[in-house]
Amino acid sequence: MKQIDCNFCIITAQRTVNTIDKSIASLRAAGITETLFIFAEPDAKIPEDEKIIVIQNAEKRGCFKNFANTLESIWFNRPFTVVLSDDFIYHKNLIEYLEPVNDSGTFLMYTDAALFNKFNEKPQWKAINEGWNTHGGLFIMAKGTIKKMIDSESYKNHRDSYAKNMQIDSFVGKWHKENGIPTFYHNPSLTEHFGKDNSTLGHEHTNYGLGWGK
């Protein structure tokens, strides 16, 4: 099965409990065999994997600035880029579900439980622009969309005024809605968040999962 031509990036920071090893193992089990780009805070645990490239920050950036640095460093390499958190696991048939991804909008790998009632029950991608209420995200963005976003004044202002607990996914969702770019969620979710209280921002996430192991 053909893989999407995408930069798969992971942002990571120090955690009280290691999550990145489990997350990478899940990606590999889902068929993502290519090199992963790890953008790490200075005190983060670096996983052992022969097919990773690690970019370690000289000083702590914080969540949004690490996300922004990742996008700005790598968006031009391939047609698509996704920036993943280090505390998600992935459906074993992930690649199959990513086949419809194209440059008509941005495709989100995580669907929050709150969105489930907005879908019918048939597994599908559906365009729902939640704006600031976007949660989870894991945005697969086309090269042109990323360039437009990182060049925008609202992005630069948010990046440069980043304060503790400002949400990455909320800003990106808001930017897409303001710029009329569709965001496609998959029902059910293609990922599951397991960081909970160990999450970098201290947020608990829930989702309607695909049913792991089925």
d(CA 199, CA 193): 9
The residue with greater pLDDT, 6 or 132, is 6
Domain assignment present for residue 89? The answer is: yes
* b/e 193-206 (16+ beta carbons within 10 angstroms → b): bbbeeebbeeeebe
Domain assignment present for residue 211? The answer is: no
Residue 30 sits in which domain range? 6-198
- Span 15-31, mean pLDDT? 92
Give the mean pLDDT of the chain. 85
Q: Is the pLDDT of residue 176 over 50?
A: yes
d(CA 16, CA 174): 31
pTM for the model stands at 0.88
Domain assignment present for residue 214? The answer is: no
107-162: pLDDT as tens digits: 999 887 767 656 656 778 988 888 888 877 899 999 999 999 999 999 999 998 86
- Span 35-60, mean pLDDT? 90
Whichever domain contains 60, its CATH number is 3.90.550.10
Strands 191-193 and 88-90: antiparallel
Domain assignment present for residue 212? The answer is: no
Question: 12-16, 76-80, 100-104: which range is least confident on average?
Answer: 12-16
Domain assignment present for residue 209? The answer is: no
- Span 166-172, mean pLDDT? 82
Domain assignment present for residue 205? The answer is: no
Number of domains in the chain: 1
Domain assignment present for residue 204? The answer is: no
